[in-house]
Chain A
Amino acid sequence: MFSLAAALAGVILAALTAYVLLGGADFGAGIWTLLASGPRKAQQRDLIAHAIAPVWEANHVWLILAIVLLFTCFPRAFAAIAIGLHIPLTLMLIGIVLRGSAFVFQSYGGGGGRVFAAASLMTPVLLGTSVGAVASGAIGQWGRGQWVGVGFYAGYVAPWLTAFNLAVGLFTLACFAFLAAVYLTLEAKEAPLQDDFRLRAIAAGAAVVALAVLALVVFPAAPRVHRGIVGLVAAASLGAFWSLGRRRYKLARVAAAAQVTLIVWGWALAQYPYLVPRVLTIADAAAPDITLELALSAVVLGAVVLLPSLYYLMKVFKGRVLKAS
């Protein structure tokens, strides 16, 4: 039942999930830099800078990995996405460049704090908007391989600039901010600072729920997420709120990560077996078997090198955080 192509689509989904859970949280941390407030404003910013400095580049590579595997294994889907979403993806790249460079400039005394924060805000919205456009089937015309005779607005703007897609963008932003705030409760050493992020986590978690409910009401025609998944997301969300309320931060982190993971998988399952909904399935877009076989061996080989290294990185810098309870 499990084809080679489906396995690789699963690997790409796993890479995207890792990107959301790790890289997404780094963007979320940038949002909290922007929204730092109260008597501990400076400490909040310091904590964030220290938390993401050693890991953000490694976390970012998950996105590169997902893209590279996408164009290797599903070149037609990659081409359709790259054409139809040229504008939001280019804007997202600008956000990625600004966020990364401003952060490192700031770390080495070059200023750029505001650019870092603003880019952290803009990039997740564009990422989410692009995902929304794929999920809602808006780029289908590019998946058919007929690339001519499409007007600028109809072909390159209308597919992604919809209320639904922008709502997905905002939802992504809320999810990233939520993840970051939850993780930061564990990074903080002093109770008041911990409480700052606890409150932020609860607020962002509430925003996630509110946006999800609102979207269900406003967009009745939106792609349906499997009921079982919705139930699991709700359970994870309740778990996160409960553990934040009881200051059980380690549990809150597990619940928040599970909640966001389930959201990503819910999207994937909703459009399965399509990569570009209603036009290109995983099987349609798949590269020849030999390419898929080699890509899978590269993934296995890469994982053998990568996973112990990643574990080591996290142990060195997040060891205290990982053990904290």
Chain B
Amino acid sequence: MSDLLAARSQMAVSLAFHIIFACIGIAMPVLMVIAERRWQRTREPVYLDLAKRWARGTAILFAVGAVSGTVLAFELGLLWPRFMELAGPVIGMPFSLEGFAFFTEAIFLGIYLYGWEKVSPRAHLLAGVLIAVSGAASGVFVVIANAWMNTPAGFTFANGTFTAIDPIAAMRTPAALPQTLHMTLAAYAATGLGVAGIHAFMLRKNPTSAFHRAALTIGLLVGAPAAILQPISGDIAARYVARRQPVKLAAMEALYETRAGAPITIGPGIRIPYGLSLLAFHDPDAVVQGLDAVPREEWPNVPLVHLSFDVMVALGTYLAVVGLWTGWLALRKRDIATRRRFLWAVALAAPCGFLAVEAGWMVTELGRQPWVIFGILKTADAVTPMPGLIVPFTVITVLYCALAVIVAKLLTRQIARSPQT
């Protein structure tokens, strides 16, 4: 394994690990706040129990998210010093703002988790709201920095250095809006339906359990609308990619030749005529740039990007269908907790959102290769000169695998201990 590949793999493992915890850190506070608010309004003990149990699970996940986030902040330099040396002054701003947002999140999480008896109910709920807001904000800031890597802006590039730096223009990079929208919705959809799925699974055996009913309802309340909106934000994102990073779009859709009226290829075999032109430009005859427009050495890994994209779209579509089904049942005021087929569908959705997040992240990261700053700096030129990078890659991978197993065990135990009535 070359040092470059080891560095990329280490970054990939670190991000793939952290992104799960980050999504949960963004969305879980919203679920906790809804449960607590319902407790304060209805005084039904089941909601308080729910808020407290969710808070316990969130505490574990947030801690792992905080430390794995620290690893990433350092890894930016440990693995990609040339990138940070060049880009730090341009995109340091969103990272700094993220630092403060994350700080706020950590402070109020401490108050939320350990302050049930120490602060007034109103202050406690407000702490929950502040965690939710600062969690979403820190996610948005980090994704803005990533968006800049896709559509770099706010500088003039000459002789290998940046001049006329404008960090505000850099933050307003074209990809910022579609990417932050898509990622934030993904966090709510994956976490909301993830939670709903777990409780739907428990309800199959125990359809009268007030605890699991309450949990399912709140999970769906957050997850279903996000899942329904997600394809729209995906369409916005795809059209930005079509204009700003046509090579990435070509890889996503495995379009090798530039052509008008381009079809969509799903998997290796299925083709929908005019589909891609319609999707990317909302015009069946639009010309879509193929991979042939750039030299071969500037192609990303096409099969992998294409596969990841299809997996993301398939999973996202399934989640949107579950979301619409939820909406349909809610509109007709049906008792969702007794519909076995619906419960199965929701239970099946539990892992799908997180898998879609991973697949989507692979699309955007692998699709940008071989560039770390699109069109400006190649990933190969950004890597640290330190040799033997396979060692830290292996260590981090083993460490994260072990942590994943322990977290899964602890959460399974938490869930198994949840009340059955």
Contacts and interface: CB of A to CB of B under 8 A. Distances in A.
Contacts of A112: 406
Contact of A82 (B69, B78, B98, B108): B78
Interface stretch (B109-117, B186-194, B201-209, B284-292): B109-117
Nearest to A299: B96
Interface string A55-71: 10110110111011101
A14 B218 CA distance: 42
A287 B100 contact: no
B43 interface: no
> Which of B84, B115, B386 neighbours the largest number of chain A CB atoms within 10 Å of its CB?
B386
Contacts of A54: 110-111, 113-115
A313 B107 contact: yes
Contacts of B77: 71, 78-79, 81-82
Nearest to B68: A97
Contacts of A68: 73, 92, 95-96, 98-99
A163 interface: no
Nearest to B118: A316
Contacts of A90: 74, 78, 392, 395
B340 interface: no
A82 B79 CA distance: 8
Contacts of B60: 104-105, 108
Contacts of B89: 72-73, 75, 287-288, 291
B71 interface: yes
Contact of A305 (B78, B96, B100): B100
Contacts of A313: 107-108, 110-111
Given A65-B103, A68-B95, A93 B110 contact: no
A64 B406 contact: no
B154 to A, nearest CB: 10
A89 B75 CA distance: 9
B409 interface: yes
A309 B131 CA distance: 12
A97 B388 contact: no
Contacts of B387: 152, 156
A105 B406 contact: yes
A309 B108 contact: yes
A298 to B, nearest CB: 5
A60 B106 contact: yes
Nearest to A90: B392
A101 B406 contact: yes
A152 B73 CA distance: 24
A305 B64 CA distance: 25
State the majority secondary structure of interface residues on B: helix
A158 interface: no
Is the interface on chain A under 10, 10 to 19, 20 to 34, or 35 or more residues? 35 or more
B413 to A, nearest CB: 8
Contact of A64 (B59, B69, B75): B69
A64 B73 contact: yes
Nearest to A97: B67
Contacts of A302: 96-97, 99-100, 103
A149 to B, nearest CB: 9
A133 to B, nearest CB: 15
A60 B104 contact: no
Contacts of A110: 406, 409-410
A60 B167 contact: no
Contacts of B395: 90, 94
B102 A64 contact: yes
Contacts of A80: 81
A267 to B, nearest CB: 20
A234 interface: no
Contact of A71 (B71, B88, B108): B88
Contacts of A89: 74, 78
Nearest to B10: A90
B84 A71 contact: yes
A21 to B, nearest CB: 16
Given A58-B107, A294-B93, A82 B64 contact: no
Interface in A72-109: 72-73, 75-76, 78-83, 86, 89-90, 93-94, 96-101, 103-105, 107-109
B388 A152 contact: yes
B259 interface: no
A54 B97 CA distance: 23
A298 B103 contact: no
Contact of A290 (B56, B69, B87, B167): B167
A298 B67 contact: no
B329 interface: no
B371 interface: no
A310 interface: yes
B168 interface: yes
A1 interface: no
A97 B66 CA distance: 9
Contacts of B303: none
A272 interface: no
B125 to A, nearest CB: 15
Contacts of A322: none
Contact of A317 (B70, B74, B110, B166): B110
Contacts of B272: none
Contacts of B403: 97, 101
Contact of B63 (A57, A82, A109): A57
Contacts of A309: 103-104, 107-108
Contact of A147 (B64, B167, B385): B385
Contacts of A105: 60, 406, 410
Contacts of A301: 100
A57 B73 contact: no
B324 interface: no
A298 B74 contact: no
A206 B406 CA distance: 39
Given A101-B403, A290-B165, 11 more contacts: A57-B63, A64-B70, A78-B85, A98-B399, A103-B63, A294-B167, A295-B93, A302-B100, A305-B100, A305-B104, A309-B103
24 contacts: A55-B110, A58-B107, A61-B103, A69-B96, A71-B84, A71-B95, A78-B77, A78-B85, A79-B84, A83-B385, A93-B75, A94-B399, A100-B66, A104-B64, A105-B410, A112-B406, A147-B385, A287-B88, A290-B167, A291-B90, A295-B96, A302-B103, A313-B110, A317-B118
By Cβ-Cβ distance, the 5 closest A-B pairs, closest first, are A72-B92, A82-B77, A75-B88, A302-B100, A287-B89
